[in-house]
Amino acid sequence: MIESKLREQICRLAKSIFDRGLTGGSSGNISSRTAEGGLLVSPTGSCFGDLDPARLSCFDAQGNQISGDKPTKEMNLHAAFYETRSSAGAVVHLHSTHSVARSLLPGLDPDNFLPPLTAYSIMRLGKVTLLPYFRPGDPAMGDAVKGLAGKRSAVMLAAHGPVVAGKDVEAAVYAVEELEETSRLSMLLQGCNPTLLNAEQIQDVVTHFNVEWD
């Protein structure tokens, strides 16, 4: 995709996320690989509802900023996904309500944050690792992602928000939306003893859609 179109796509999808209340204020950040191997990144302190295509932070393939505003303070988090997952073409980080609420519940499996409520979270996300709380902007978040050695396309930062990598901006956005939707379902079903997908059903989805799952 030519860079001008990619810039417009980033801003259009970010506004859609904001308009539907999936992240608010100046929270959240988004990045994408360019055709030349560089990065376009949402600026620090920017609002998803009002991103300017011309002001996105732009980096060359060597990691040097060449134009745009100062990038998000979560650059280490984005860079960790690009460094460890060769398939990552975009990364989205939100402060979405239901996923954050779920991250505060006791007794969660840190290796598999989401319950198997539907096939779609498995298809789009695989397993989601729950990482502990880090101060916003702490480089240790990036180190924690690197510690996963590329095994996960999505993580949940406790008391903070989800971070998802995808093959492109659209895929990353759809995946992070699925993470939030599954979290919302899980919160609606608290105390209801829902019927989860069983191991055979999960494996069928994993095999049929070639999902990363271990």
- The structure's pTM equals 0.96
pLDDT at position 1, please?
A: 87
pLDDT at position 146, please?
A: 97
Active site (annotated) includes residue 36: no
Please pick, among 3, 82, 83, 120, the residue that the annotation labels catalytic.
Answer: 120
pLDDT at position 15, please?
A: 97
Active site (annotated) includes residue 82: no
What are phi and psi for residue 129, nearest 5 degrees? -85, 130
Residues of the chain predicted below pLDDT 70: none
- Interval 35-70: pLDDT, tens: 999 999 999 999 999 999 999 999 999 999 999 999
Q: Which domains does the chain have, with CATH numbers?
A: 3-208 (3.40.225.10)
Of 134, 121, 98, the C-alpha closest to 22 is 98
Please pick, among 74, 177, 180, 181, the residue that the annotation labels catalytic.
Answer: 74
pLDDT at position 214, please?
A: 84
Give one DSSP letter per residue of 167-189, joined into a string. Answer: SSHHHHHHHHHHHHHHHHHHHHT
Contact 41, 75 (CB under 8 A): yes
